[in-house]
Structures are given as structure tokens and as C-alpha cells.
Amino acid sequence: MRLAALVESADHVCARYRLRAFEPVLRAAGHRLELHAIPRRLWGRLSVIRQLRDADVVILQRKLFSKVEVGFMRQRLRRIWFDFDDAVWMRDSYSNKGFESLKRQRRFQAIMRASDIVIAGNDYLAESARKFGAKQAVMIPTCVDVDRYSIAKHAGPRIDLVWIGSSSTLQGIESATSILSWIGRSVPGVRLKLICDRFVHPPGIDVIETQWAESTEANEIATADIGVSWIPDDPWSSGKCGLKVLQYMAAGLPVVTNPVGVHPEMVRDGETGFLVQSAYEWVEAIRKLATDPDLRRRMGAAGRKVVEERYSVEAGAKKWLELINSQNAA
């Protein structure tokens, strides 16, 4: 089967983790996956759509095309699949315009109704797709290649918390500044390693600035001791797919995070990390892990196993192949 995907770019995080990661497995099974960057201009997009009319499936990733474009695609393309990993029908947590956007909702609904299949990164997104008119919505989580991640040793004299992300998601760390400052002042020897393209410096805690690169991110995570993530408790965050948490777990790190969205599904409280809410709970969880390297190793090993079983490229590729084979048999 020829699968042609329209993506922001082949190097965009969503294309890398939700499509490109599975290409070798799909190719080995006799399928062909192509990634095409979505042109900025309308005529460029229409031209690409014309070029893809012979593809067995065209996968639209995340972008909310206009109704005119969706209608143009529906008339010319054999099968349309839509893949997404965010609550794209609304604005994000930090928009000063609020969550609701009628323009986004209308475009999302048009794509849901026009798509033969919708692939969602979590159950909340899949259910939302159905509410907006999707005929068939399946859940395939964002997955990581566990073979890229070495296992953290948990043997250093200092305890490094790690957070990985981009400038657009750094606002989560900025919102948790007071918690991080309290941790830095309350737990001796703790530092914060930021793997990003921009950095913040919460008072009271030393920050290790680490420039993000695809080639080094896995090793940089594995040299830390505890993975941390914080997202606001709101509708947009319910659609997040927990990539950074999966990366921490793949590297054998225990995770400390708040119980929002997919976090409670990924982090088993007391087994692979801690789900915490108040600043006091954050400090106590970090303190407990910082003073017990054996606990960090046990939780990290348990987290790695969860990723291998449920969120690995191998597990995700199996779901993709099942989906493709079901269409071939139809």
C-alpha cells in the first residue's frame, strides 16, 4: 500500500514520532510511506493534492485545512486518514483568546466527516473525533524507539531533574517556577537540566542549559536522574500525548508529574514514579527519589518495561499494520 502523508515537515516532532518512526517496519511489510511537507500557499497545497491522487491513502497530519480544500481532497483522493496528537479544534492553554475557536471547530468537523479513518494519539482525542463526526477513530499512541535510549545509571553525586521540550511548551516549566524553587531550596544537591532551545532560571535551583538536538536528546536524558513534567489541568492538556514522559521512562528514569491528561495512564503512582499535585507533594516525591538510588533504579526499570510493552515503535507499528491490513481486507 502506498501511504502519502502531508505533514508540517519531515523533521517536525509529530512527523518523526507518529509516522517516520514506523517507516522501516512498514517498508519491511511491503508498504511505502512518503512524507510531503504542506506548502504554505493554497495553490501549492492543491497542486500536491493532485499529485497524490494515485496514492492508496493520504494521511493528513494535524493541519486544519479549509472546507474548500477538504472538499477538493474528497473528490480526488481515494482514501483520507487524519492523524493528530493535540486538541487542534481549540486554542492552547496559553492563548489570550481562550480555548474556544469556532473557525477551528468548523474546520476540524469538516475533516472528521471527510476522513475515512482518524488516528488519534489518546482516547480523549479519539472520542472527541467521534463527537465531531468521525466515521471511524482508532487510538495509536505516540511511540518512542527504546533502542535509542541507554539506561540511566543513577550513580552521580548530584541529583539532576530533567525536562525536555521546545520553546512553545516551556511555559509549563515557567508555570511551575515556584514549585521548582521550593524543590531547589528544600532538597540538597538537586539541579534542573533543561533540554530545549530556550531556557529559564527559577530562583533557588541551579539550571543546566542543554541545547536540544535530535542526535543527542536520548543520551542527555539518560544522564539525568528524575524526569519531571507539569501541564495545566485544562481541556487543551487533556489532548496532550505525554511524549516527554515516555522519553524519561525509556531512559530508565522515574517520573514525577501531575495527574493530568494521559499522565495517570503512563505513570503508575508508586511504581514507575509519582503523581503529585501540591507543592508539598512535589518536594516530598523529589526528596524520596533523591535520597534512594535503588528506588530510582527500580522505578526506572518498571517504567522502561511499560514503554516497551505499550509505547514502543514495535508496539505502535503493530497497530499501524493491523489498521492497514484491515483496509486491504475490506
Bridge partners of 58?
Answer: 4, 80
pLDDT band at 173 (very low <50, low <70, confident <90, very high): confident
In this structure, are residues 169 and 186 in contact, taking their beta carbons and an 8 Å threshold? no
Give the pLDDT mean for 1-20.
96
Q: Domains (ranges, CATH) in the chain?
A: 2-143+312-329 (3.40.50.2000), 146-311 (3.40.50.2000)
For the cut 80, the answer to whether the pLDDT of residue 195 exceeds it is: yes
Q: What is the pLDDT of residue 169?
A: 84
List, for residues 46-60, the tens digit of each pLDDT value: 999 999 999 999 999
Give the C-alpha separation, 312 to 299, whole Å: 18
Q: What is the pLDDT of residue 329?
A: 57
Give the C-alpha separation, 240 to 142, whole Å: 10
List, for residues 126-171, the tens digit of each pLDDT value: 999 999 999 999 999 999 999 999 999 998 789 999 999 988 888 8
List, for residues 97-122, the tens digit of each pLDDT value: 999 999 999 999 999 999 999 999 99
For the cut 60, the answer to whether the pLDDT of residue 19 exceeds it is: yes
For the cut 60, the answer to whether the pLDDT of residue 325 exceeds it is: yes
Give the pLDDT mean for 313-327.
95
For the cut 60, the answer to whether the pLDDT of residue 330 exceeds it is: no
Q: What is the pLDDT of residue 319?
A: 97
Cα separations in angstroms, 307 against 118, 266, 326: 23, 8, 25
List, for residues 287-301, the tens digit of each pLDDT value: 999 999 999 999 999
Give the pLDDT mean for 73-88.
97
For the cut 90, the answer to whether the pLDDT of residue 271 exceeds it is: yes
For the cut 90, the answer to whether the pLDDT of residue 27 exceeds it is: yes
The percent of residues above 90 in pLDDT, for the chain, comes to 94
Give the C-alpha separation, 329 to 103, whole Å: 37
Residue ranges with strand state E in the chain: 2-7, 32-37, 57-61, 80-84, 117-120, 137-139, 159-164, 190-196, 206-211, 226-229, 255-257, 273-275
Report the predicted TM-score, pTM, of the whole model to 2 decimal places: 0.95
Q: What is the pLDDT of residue 118?
A: 98
